[in-house]
Structure 1
Amino acid sequence: MKLVTFDPFKTIGMPNITYIKPEYIFKEIEKVKEADCILFPEYWQINSLVYGLKKKIFPNINTYQLGHNKVETTRVLLATFPQNVPYTKILSKYDVNIETIEEEFGYPLVAKEIKSSMGMGVFLIENRQELKSYVENNEVLYIQEKLPIYKDLRIVYVGNKVIGSYWRIAGEGQFHNNIAKGANYDYNNIPLEAIELVEKVAATLGINHAGFDIAVVDNNYYILEYNVMFGNEGLRNMGIEVEKYIYEYILSSPDFNPNNPNNPNSPIYPKAS
């Protein structure tokens, strides 16, 4: 297989792969056209690749579009797994009533910027002044109930399976559970039900590369969000090399590999080690 990547760090060690800087996509368009699969394009590239050039991409277009921001993710989850979504309102700053939000959510509540990661743009709102400041600084408002948690689960799904999971435990007195915000790892006692939920959600939505953040409250499982470009440090601590799972998935999937042995007319290829 001929592979092209736009992110060399997420594809280290893959054979038969060519790196192209994202801004050089049109300059190197012939290499792109010849590739069997394009890995980790930037969001602005995917329509040209998928709809224009009819290329296979990884992560797939479902993953990119549904994970583009918190609004897209939440709306599709409300349509498919509403029981696993914390109480959430998505509003416009131009059509919002502060008193109504206060009545529905009370304080503290959680407010988020719709496109952020690593805990950035996630705020614990404890009074009206903080809420007004959030409204003034965001066109689209994402308001969510504050769950009684001090940790959450990061469950990583690659290809067609969960490849690793761990708890992220907030520092003492801290609100954020993100590692980038000082949280700690715990690899013990991962609930099977949470893994099964992620597998079901990913299969239903056609997602093939995501880090799901799951909150557990009274044996209920809530999907806080999923990140298309998740950090790998927690997995590396477990000895998991994500790029190997990606490569094996691309080789074995009939969606990507024209020589997949599942096709009786195709030659057998060696399995990725």
Structure 2
Amino acid sequence: MSNIREDGLMKLITFNPFRTIGIPKVSYIKPENMFKEIEKIKEADYILFPEYWQVNTLVYGLKKKIFPNISTYQLGHNKIETTRALQAIFPKSVPYTQILGKDNINIETIEEEFNYPLVAKEIKNSMGRGVFLVEDRKQLRSYIDNNEILYIQERLPIDRDIRIVYVGNQVIGSYWRIAGEGQFHNNIAKGASYDYDNVPEEAIKLVEDIARELNINHAGFDVAVVDNRLYVLEYNVMFGNEGLRNIGVEVEKYIQEYINNDPDFTPSNPTFPRAS
């Protein structure tokens, strides 16, 4: 069952034109002009890629359908939200992690639990920024001094991870990201390379299970493999598309297909019957 109107189109508004280039007849509104263009927004059938500060108003205030959906935004807002959800539902798939307030931190306890090296992360960042390999107490103190909330994780013995991209209701692409020789980060933005061969089916199945359980519909998951065990390092709502473009995958086509076939969608103008 398609949600396309009798005239062949839905009324779509995007707040991020670069992520919707391949979707036809989408109107662009700058996020800062949201309230100036409020009547156009009210008339839209779907809102694409709002900024996080807009989400609650669009969904709860204006009762609009958004893509990505609100659970994707809220659970992917920062590493804390992502990790706590995964710890609750998929605890065996999360590296050992502690999320701590800065006040009254006991460095000796952290050292006993994790040993060096350990991984410390800023809770909101991407492309490898804000992810640190901490090798001694001096580096740990520096991280603590610069972060109000501490996100500390065990260092896994890996030199690569798998990026698995889930859009709509399916995995649309996957590949290994291999760190440069002697490098810590597996991010392409940090000089890692792609490998599209031999991505384990179990990793794809894990991502499918997580996305469906948590109602996530647009995310790039980073999965590590250690001794045949899978660990989800994090997921990013606004993931990079270069790795998918290299194999001819156009994310926009999957977004359009998903929106057009959303079974929970009700057009804002009920006078047009749904096309079959």
TM-score by length of 2: 0.94
Aligned residue in 2 for 1:92: 101
In the alignment, structure 1 residue 243 sits paired with structure 2 residue 239:
no
Please state how far the C-alpha of 1:258 moved relative to its aligned partner: 4.0
Find the partner of 2:181 among 159, 172, 177.
172
Aligned residue in 2 for 1:148: 157
The answer for unaligned runs of 5 or more in structure 2 is 1-9
RMSD: 1.2
In the alignment, structure 1 residue 267 sits paired with structure 2 residue 274:
yes
Kept in 2, the 8 Å contact 1:258–1:266? The answer is no
1:132-165 deviation digits (Å, cap 9, x = unpaired): 0000000000000000000000000000000000
Q: Distance in 2 between matches of 1:117 and 1:166?
A: 18
Q: Distance in 1 between matches of 2:89 and 2:204?
A: 17
Aligned residue in 2 for 1:33: 42
Q: Distance in 2 between matches of 1:19 and 1:75?
A: 34
Q: Distance in 2 between matches of 1:232 and 1:97?
A: 41
Please state how far the C-alpha of 1:15 moved relative to its aligned partner: 1.8
Aligned residue in 2 for 1:233: 242
TM-score by length of 1: 0.95
Aligned residue in 2 for 1:186: 195
Please list, as runs of the form range in 1=range in 2, the aligned pairs for 1:191-206 lying within 5 A after superposition.
191-206=200-215
Runs ≥4 residues deviating over 4 A: none
Counterpart of 2:275, as a letter, is I
Please state how far the C-alpha of 1:95 moved relative to its aligned partner: 2.7
SS in 1 for 2:74: helix
Kept in 2, the 8 Å contact 1:37–1:57? The answer is yes
1:139-194 deviation digits (Å, cap 9, x = unpaired): 00000000000000000000000000000000000000000000000000010000
Counterpart of 1:139, as a letter, is E
Aligned residue in 2 for 1:7: 16
Aligned residue in 1 for 2:6: none
Please list, as runs of the form range in 1=range in 2, the aligned pairs for 1:96-135 lying within 5 A after superposition.
96-135=105-144
Q: Distance in 2 between matches of 1:224 and 1:24?
A: 36
Aligned residue in 1 for 2:63: 54
Kept in 2, the 8 Å contact 1:251–1:257? The answer is no
**What is the count of residue pairs matched by the alignment?**
264
Aligned residue in 2 for 1:208: 217
Kept in 2, the 8 Å contact 1:250–1:257? The answer is no
Kept in 2, the 8 Å contact 1:62–1:206? The answer is yes
Q: Distance in 1 between matches of 2:40 and 2:228?
A: 50
Q: Distance in 1 between matches of 2:165 and 2:115?
A: 33
SS in 1 for 2:99: strand
